Amino acid sequence: MAKKALSTNQVAQLCGVHRTTIINWVKEGKLRAYVTAGGHRRILPEEMVRFVESYRIPIPEGKLTEKSLLIIDNDEEAIIC
């Protein structure tokens, strides 16, 4: 399964900075990213880890918690745990 790349907005939220800061870090070569066919920058998760560790950027508490998914189904016989 392919790893899901992060958008500049996602990385900015994790680092507690503005999206423009992430774009500048990419342009300066501090943070590696690739550009999609649509012109959007994407950062691989392992690159994000490398970057925050090498620049000692603290991730604000609560930003790395797992997300939950709620599925609502009108099937009365379905039980979702």
Q: How far apart are CA 43 and CA 7, in angstroms?
A: 6
Domain that holds residue 58: 1-81
pTM of structure = 0.70
Let me know if 7 is exposed, middle or buried by CB neighbors in 10 A (0-12, 13-18, 19+): middle
Residue 65 confidence (pLDDT):
56
DSSP state for residue 66 in the 8-state scheme: P
Q: What is the CATH number of the domain that holds 60?
A: 1.10.1660.10
Q: What is the pLDDT of residues 12-66, one digit of tens each?
A: 998 889 999 999 999 999 999 999 999 999 999 999 989 998 999 887 666 655 5
The runs of H, that is alpha helices, within the chain are: 8-15, 19-27, 45-54
Count: domains in the chain: 1
Residue 2 confidence (pLDDT):
58
DSSP state for residue 29 in the 8-state scheme: T
Residue 10 confidence (pLDDT):
93
